[in-house]
Amino acid sequence: MILVISPAKTLYEKAPILLENFTSADFLPDATKIVSVMKKKKPAQLAKLMDISPKLAELNYHRFQEWNLPFASENSWQAVLMFNGDVYQGLKAETFSDTEFETAQKHLRILSGLYGLLKPLDLIQPYRLEMGTNIGIARKKNLYEFWKSKITAKLSQELTETGQKELINLASNEYFSAIDPKRLEARIITPSFKEHKDGQYQMVSFFAKKARGLMCRFIIQNQITDPEEIKAFDLEGYFYNNQLSKTDNWVFTR
């Protein structure tokens, strides 16, 4: 199976661990096209375009100005070790063994507004560019139009080449919308996570994001290949809720 997750806005300032193994992102030429457009934006323009504070706009202005190929250990590090948001706090990739990194590299993919689709060990440079950013690239009106066919084709290729038949959607709606599910010959399973509060189950964003990372960790560490085994997920008090789950929309509650 292939797991897809979203990136994070929060990044580590330096790699939490030093890992010698690395790979190259599949869509660096496309990322270069995007960066060439973003380099032309002044901080004030970035603040408005990305709906961020002047301080964050200044930071990301300098990130785009400094973005440059080739990537090397001096200016980049592995994607799964750069993101530091809620999902990645649950994943805790910095604690993985060599075998777990190998499993993650085979099965985990990170959707990205700048890089399209990342393998965990792909080198990247710091950035912030959400998939929903309304920016035209190469005669495409937005990043969804720019990326959808590329990302979908790559996932389809990987599913076919590896004989995998399931896609586990642990991404946000914003990022999963960059995939065309109709063009994938795969069963798509979408887990969701809810908390018992005020007599009912509710989705709480912070906990749900962290749980997506926890589930990735659970699947990777247990080397799960049969999706039914995902229903045994029980980290931090979650359990599969058969009553709330429908078809391939699986609900986990606590």
Could you report the per-residue pLDDT of 112-128, keeping only the tens digit for each?
A: 999 999 999 999 999 99
Quickly state the pLDDT bin for 232 (edges 50, 70, 90).
very high
What is the pLDDT, as a whole number, of residue 73? 80
Place of tokens 């959808």: 148
- Percentage with pLDDT > 70 across the chain: 100
Q: Using alpha carbons only, give the angle 203, 204, 206 rounded to the nearest 5 degrees.
A: 135
Mean pLDDT along residues 149-170: 96
Q: What is the DSSP letter of 13?
A: S
What is the pLDDT, as a whole number, of residue 45? 97
What is the pLDDT, as a whole number, of residue 72? 85
The pTM for the full model equals: 0.96
Q: What is the DSSP letter of 122?
A: B
Whether 48 has a pLDDT exceeding 90, the answer reads yes
Whether 23 has a pLDDT exceeding 90, the answer reads yes
- Percentage with pLDDT > 90 across the chain: 96
Residue-wise pLDDT tens digits, 61-74: 999 999 999 998 88
Instruction: Please give the backbone phi and psi of residue 76, each rounded to the nearest 5 degrees, phi first.
Output: -160, 165
Strands 249-253 and 239-240 come out as antiparallel
Secondary structure class of 199 (helix, strand, coil): coil
Residue-wise pLDDT tens digits, 51-98: 999 999 999 999 999 999 999 888 899 999 999 999 999 999 999 999
Whether 191 has a pLDDT exceeding 90, the answer reads yes
Residue 46's DSSP bridge partners are none
What is the pLDDT, as a whole number, of residue 57? 97
Mean pLDDT along residues 28-42: 97
